[in-house]
Structure 1
């Protein structure tokens, strides 16, 4: 059992990375439920442009994931994370200054270009043994979950006393403080000889070889598609649920739905990790997609009880899968191309975050609300099916 216990250095590292990811989650999740509400207050807004304002964050995040992952494989994780967080902080500040929907969309694009989640997952993978990766992701994931809980509580509370634009300013400051924290308190701790890599005349070939190797891995591609689906569903939920809850209980009371949902989601994730430690990742993944399907169906009834249950189910499935899939990818990949593999996965996830609200906003603008749920349910079925096909590859 001792080999499963983290050393003091590992615990400090995991908590530090968890805090970084948690504050980032706090900053982004705090404003997400209000983005469509905020967008409707800006000049030149339409349902489609409001959806694009939420979703373009995912598009630019997707575009930067693989390049940043490749660069982090060469230069180390810390430098690239610092640059990405700086972009995020600047984008949040521009959102604070926005007066029309187009400037706001640009600010969201800049926020998304700070693509650091794949690098953070890779950083954990670099420093933690394979047999402890699930638990490591669980520790950092729990801290991220706490950040999400705090966001869902603080967001509606702050909404009572300050404007959404000032919430963007507050989040920009939080990310700036996170940059300072990483710079001074988290060491690189990468064992690879970075100078040798940097001086290599074949560095571009190393980039290409790493990307080709990842793209040829069918299991990583399947897991990446699953990442697209879970983020599509989550982003679509963020677009439609705030409008529903605004009519049912008011914006300031949304925390009463989101808070218990996130808490239950964290508990579900911990139970799922225990099951995966027994070699049940495939079953847990399939069950999580079925939970997403049922949650989507519940929301389609538009009653407070059904929507609350739907949000609980969707967040439980989402939190579970976003913790376990990156852990599985880290187990499947060698260190020298782990950043690339996580970059590919995160590219798919943020494409889902882009397509989800953008398509949902388009369908809302065309008064095709029923099709929103048809698409989401179909994707959940696809995700469950892909999870089943992973059985052929085994629980590696």
Structure 2
């Protein structure tokens, strides 16, 4: 049977573009500070390397604590209200940081920025606005927007700081947030319904089973470690560029060159990993490259070319893992538990950012910049050893299909028959949502048999 393509509705286009833009602009504001805060810390009273590290990563702590409560609150009072509330908190945090002349004010502002934890609510609203057939592609758009925002932040953060100072970066972020409020209320359509989506939101009943899976917590530890080393080294990377003779005004160009080449190197590896079903091998390679590059960055700098080579290797590995880890999580998560698994994964990411900034600042304060890279390299080595035990994920994909029957006896029979379809590896039927969550091997899937089971009686055969 030929698979019929699904065209986007006008409301879905507006929802995807608007919410992806909201997510990206928020992450842009958080990331723009990374390449500049350490350089401008001497203009802040009370600044020490440790406190600079805390300021870099503290948003991760408040984000980790509040993202799940905000997501649950959006189920009760409405997605747009919670997102608007989070954006206002984020804007207040940006203004507090922009108005501060001390490192403690910056820490408070960054903590408030993280307190606008609307990631889960944005994803839930996107799920409300999209049909099951295109939801996976819509979520992938959000993921792509995060990667793009990180690359853009690395480039425009230094340029903006050189022109308007550190406070200018935060004022720009506050302005972006206010524009985001307009987009939310004027561009993003009103959701036709508000439903709890197991492929997007957290289900507390599944939390224990997700946390007890060794393959899933290895991925949680991976994203934790990835963002830990990222935050840690940005206590030191800007000074490495200065030591190499690159003026602050040109740091944006340096990051632009490295991120551009890293993207070009990363894309073929992602394609090979997915096509050849060797994502585990590619991930081990990426972690190994990160460990080696960090160790080499901890050695005395021998010249600008080597500095660029090791930073390029790090960013290539970082971008590669940012793309592959969510894909692996999607393959390994049980049917109907993807949203819960992603919630734990995201919380791990934010905790890693917090501890990474703090650890990087502490290492720099105690033993200098070289210790930051050496410490991060040792952690990456331990991470590589831990990931060695991860089994290769099966080439599975998640599918969500609508049900035409909700009688308990009929649903039990439907589950049995769905599980018997060739290529269907796992099934969860949720009557109250009128949905079935499937894990399928697309290469082996008998889509004609699946379509026959899910087609209402009397409907024309397509």
TM-score range, shorter chain: 0.7 to 0.9
Structure 1 spans left out of the alignment, 5+ residues: 198-205
CA distance in 2, matches of 1:18, 1:131: 15
Paired residue for 2:236?
A: 240
For the residues of structure 1 that align with 2:41 and 2:18, how far apart are their CA atoms? 34
User: TM (normalized to structure 2)?
Assistant: 0.73
Q: Are the structure 2 counterparts of residues 183 and 326 from structure 1 closer, same or farther at C-alpha, using a change threshold of 3 Å?
A: farther
Cα separation, partners in 2 of 1:102 and 1:156, compared to 1, 3 Å = closer
1:1-396 → structure 2 map (5 Å cutoff): 3=3, 7-9=7-9, 13-72=15-74, 78-120=80-122, 127=130, 133=136, 139-187=141-189, 193=195, 208-247=204-243, 248-278=245-275, 279-301=277-299, 302=301, 303-333=303-333, 338-391=338-391, 394-396=394-396
* Aligned residues between the structures: 386
The farther-off stretch of 303-312 and 102-111 is 303-312
The answer to whether the 8 A contact 1:286-1:388 is kept is yes
Change (3 A) 1:374 1:69: farther
1:132 Cα shift?
8.4
Instruction: Answer yes or no: is the 8 Å Cα contact 1:73–1:336 preserved in 2.
Output: no
Structure with larger RCO (C-alpha < 8 A, sep 6+): 1
For residue 393 of structure 1, report the CA deviation from its aligned partner: 5.7
Counterpart of 1:34 in 2: which secondary structure? coil
CA contact (8 A) 2:233 2:360 kept: no
For residues 179 and 88 of structure 2, what CA distance do their matches in structure 1 show?
A: 10
| Structure 2: segments with no counterpart, 5+ residues | 397-462
Q: 1:171 to 1:192 in 2, by over 3 A?
A: closer
Q: In 2, distance between residues paired with 1:390 and 1:229?
A: 15
> How many Å separate the matches in 2 of 1:222 and 1:75?
35
Q: CA RMSD in A?
A: 3.4
Alignment CA distance shift 1:95-1:207 (3 Å): same
* Equivalent residues of 1:234, 1:314 under 8 A apart: no
Structure 1: how far apart are the matches of 2:347 and 2:34?
Answer: 20
Task: Name the SS for the 1:19 alignment partner.
Answer: helix
TM-score normalised by the chain length of structure 1: 0.84
Cα 1:131–1:166 shift into 2, 3 Å: closer
For structure 1, which segment, 181-190 or 100-109, has the greater mean C-alpha deviation from structure 2 after superposition? 181-190
